A and B are shown apart, each in its own frame.
Chain A
């Protein structure tokens, strides 16, 4: 009896790690753009949806192997990221207030509109990267594909942190994040940094989309819940650090699964969101955020 309860718990935890990995990728996309551009990118979800569509269409229409399709999708994602930064974001330097966020909302609508034009309205299916096979861990099952998702999520997160902390590019990103103007004066190529950050956000979104696609069908709504959860993870973890939101993403995923299973399958998510709101009211800067003192 006790063993079964434990294995159920383990199963839930493993599944949460898988969704957590997907949320973490989307969250990282939001946070890297926020830190370098000081804009909350509301288009992150639909950008990921668009990338996932590209991969799916390359895979189904042209019959190219899935891994190669993903690689081509990543290249396309980088190109789209460059275009977004080049055509739109570069020109928003002087836009004040929430103007930049509203521009990302406009971008979101453009992506939402272009997707059915290019890919049609019929939903697609994207298979798993590893079709079959599972291993058992103390009576908890985990398919190889889920394991792959968990590993991809963790590896990308760790890789990104290494990039931020150990490389020259990472230093440039962190300098830009702390103060864009000073960074520019010190000779940091901030334009290249923002260009890179949008491409990276687009790639991370695409990967999150590709990982979540097999569990549902590829439509324009593919990333809706991922997007909402990623935003909530950002608020929960605080926008001031790179690692806070990632922690937030895993907490959201684990808490959501546990609440849905142990409390209520219907009301679990709502309870979680309400808890997050209460948490934000108590601690407005998030889990690991620092209070930014604003001068009047």
Chain B
């Protein structure tokens, strides 16, 4: 087989695809300020990006290593409050705030990873739910740091202490971070770690027999999932600019879970598609439809039914639709060639 030329290799590189994807996304502020799209799109797509980041972490955990976590919301909240407190009350630079907001939850995540070695399957789900509940109740009560029920406000980030961002530039920052997270996820998932996690999902006993260190990779998986979730939470604090304790409840964890199930387990673009379907579509499309759009709870019913249908009839998630279409197209063109001969 002939080696691909360098240009072709660069063209085929998934990293380049992520960068192009990010560039296309960051055109959005230009479109909204140009009046082509409504300004509300910025907030909704920004939220979608934040949800995608949190969901990518859960995808590493549930998709690759098969460990279920229902604590995503708690960690997102923890990241949000730490970052808001560090930048707002302590006056620390944004970069340090976000670093603290990722590191502290990761330590907690590693502890859960340690505990997870003793449990199986859904016990773990309920224990992570327990942790998330403890965190959520703490957000309610720890008023000096979290502001209690009245919530806590945060500012748009100031980069390097001098570049003060507004909504559009924060959106571009979100795009940059999303691309970095996607590249990191791709790199991890397709390297040695991805293979180890895949082996663990199949059978952790067999994986151990093959020399995969269960301790090491479970800890890494949990550290990554909590790290991504808290990063998403911290970005939420600085993009939405307000944090309420009631946001970080079980339904939010379920929304993140439904994103990866609907979009596609073990797929990076699938996660984004899932976030668009679950988070952006109800806001951008469903609520615009006359009469039906005014009904309360429609978006919940929409995602709920979609989850059930996807698990029952399309276990690979919505992203496999594209692969199936590609295969179908190939089949059709092949048949045509044959007919000609």
Q: Do A and B come from one complex?
A: yes
Q: Which residues of A contact B (CB under 8 A)?
A: 40, 42, 88, 91-92, 95, 97-99, 101-103, 105-117, 121, 224, 228, 231-232, 234-235, 239, 266-267, 269-270, 273-274, 276-277, 280-281, 284, 296
**CB distance B308 to A114 under 8 Å?**
no
* Selected contact of A113 from candidates B130, B258, B300, CB within 8 Å: B300
Quick check: B312 and A91 within 8 Å, CB to CB? yes
Residues of the B chain whose Cβ atoms lie less than 8 Å from the Cβ of A231: 126, 129
With known contacts A105-B257, A112-B300, A276–B120 Cβ distance under 8 A: no
Per the bound structure, the CA–CA distance linking A106 and B254 in Å amounts to: 9
Is A106 a contact partner of B115 (Cβ separation < 8 A)? no
Q: Are B205 and A281 in contact (CB under 8 A)?
A: no
- Contacts between the two chains (Cβ within 8 Å), count: 129
Inter-subunit contact B122/A296 (CB<8 Å): no
* Given A273-B133, A281-B119, 16 further pairs, Cβ under 8 A: A102-B311, A103-B312, A106-B308, A107-B304, A107-B308, A108-B254, A109-B304, A112-B297, A113-B302, A117-B295, A228-B129, A231-B126, A232-B126, A235-B123, A277-B131, A280-B119
CB-based nearest A residue for B66:
A97
Is A109 within 8 A of B303, CB to CB?
yes
Decide: A98 near B307, CB < 8 A? Known: A105-B258, A108-B254: no
Measured between C-beta atoms, what is the minimum distance from A50 to chain B in Å? 12
Bound-state Cα–Cα, A128 to B218, Å: 49
Q: A99-B315, A105-B254, A270-B134 known; A284 and B304 CB under 8 Å?
A: no
Q: How far is the CA of A296 from the CA of B207 in the complex (A)?
A: 11
Contacts of B121 in A (CB 8 A): 98
* Contact flags B61-92 to A (C-beta < 8 A → 1, else 0): 01000101000000000000000000000000
- Contact yes or no, A112 B68, CB < 8 A: no
Asked whether B125 is an interface residue with its Cβ less than 8 Å from the other chain, the reply is: yes
Q: Does B261 contact A102, Cβ atoms closer than 8 Å?
A: yes
Proximity bits, B287-300, A CB within 8 Å = 1, else 0:
00000000111111
Interface size on B, residues (CB 8 A): 48
As a 0/1 sequence over residues 95 to 118 of chain B, the CB contacts with chain A under 8 angstroms (1 = contact) are 000000000000000000001001
Docked complex: B192-222 residues within 8 A CB-CB of A: 203, 205-206
Contact B141 A98 (CB under 8 A): no
Q: Given that A109-B300, A110-B301 are known contacts, is A103 also in contact with B133, CB under 8 Å in the complex?
A: no
Q: Kindly state the separation between the CA atoms of A270 and B131 in the bound complex, as whole angstroms.
A: 9
* Chain B residues engaging chain A, CB cutoff 8 angstroms: 62, 66, 68, 115, 118-123, 125-127, 129-131, 133-134, 137-138, 141, 203, 205-206, 249-251, 254, 257-258, 261, 295-308, 311-312, 315
A88 touching B308, Cβ below 8 Å: yes
Q: How far is the CB of A121 from chain B (nearest CB, A)?
A: 6
> Is A117 a contact of B297 with CB atoms below 8 Å?
yes
A106 engages B311 (CB within 8 Å)? yes
**Cβ–Cβ contact A113 & B122, under 8 A:** no
- Pick the most buried of A97, A106, A107, A239: most chain B CB atoms within 10 A of its CB: A106
Residues in A whose Cβ lies below 8 Å from that of B205: 296
CB distance from B303 to the nearest CB of A (A): 6
Give the distance to chain A from B116, nearest Cβ to Cβ, in Å.
9
Give the residues in chain A near B261, CB-CB below 8 Å.
Answer: 102
Q: Does A102 contact B296, Cβ atoms closer than 8 Å?
A: no
Among the interface residues A40, A108, A224, A235, which one has the most CB atoms of the partner chain B within 10 A?
A235
A267 touches B296 (CB 8 A): no
| C-alpha gap A91/B313 in the complex (Å) | 10
By the criterion CB–CB under 8 Å, are B122 and A40 in contact? yes
- A277 is contacted by which of B130, B251, B296 (Cβ under 8 Å)? B130
Q: Is the CB of A280 within 8 A of B127?
A: yes
* Contact (Cβ within 8 A) B130 A103: no
